[in-house]
Amino acid sequence: MSASATQAIAILSLACRFPGADSPEAFWQNLAAGVESVQKVPPSRWAAEHFFAPPPYQPGKSISQWGAFLDDIQRFDAAFFGISPAEASIMDPQQRILLELAHETLINAGYTNDRREGVRISVFWGIGQNGYSELTIPLLLSGQPTHPMLVANNIRNLIAGQIAHSLNLKGPASSRKLSKQSQWTNPHWRAWKRPSSIVPLT
φ, ψ dihedrals at 18, nearest 5°: -130, 160
Residue 81 in this model has a pLDDT that exceeds 80: yes
Q: Please tell me the distance from the alpha carbon of residue 75 to that of residue 12, in angstroms, as a whole number.
A: 27
What pLDDT is recorded for position 123?
Answer: 86
Asked whether residue 102 falls in the same domain as residue 118, the answer is: yes
Q: Which residue among 22, 56, 71 closes a domain?
A: 71
Structural domain tally of the chain?
Answer: 2
The verdict on 50 and 93 lying in the same domain is no
Give the residue, 101 or 135, on which the prediction is more confident.
Answer: 101
Helices 159-166 and 93-108, interaxial angle, to 10°? 50
Q: Is 5 a member of any domain?
A: no
In sequence order, the 6+-apart residues with CB closer than 8 A to the CB of 194 are: none
- Considering the domain architecture, whether residues 66 and 110 belong to the same structural domain is answered as no
Residue 133 has pLDDT above 50, yes or no: yes
Residue scoring higher pLDDT (47 or 129): 47
pLDDT tens string 6-25: 566 778 899 999 999 999 99
pTM (whole model) above 0.85: no
The closest alpha carbon to 169, from 105, 84, 73, belongs to 105
Give residue 143's pLDDT band: very low, low, confident or very high (50, 70, 90).
Answer: confident
185 and 109 fall within a common domain: yes
More confident: 29 or 114: 29
pLDDT value at residue 1: 47
Residue 49 structural domain = 12-71
| 7 in any annotated domain | no
Considering only residues 98 and 3, tell me which one the structure prediction assigns the higher pLDDT.
Answer: 98
Q: Is residue 3 part of a domain?
A: no
Q: pLDDT value at position 202?
A: 63
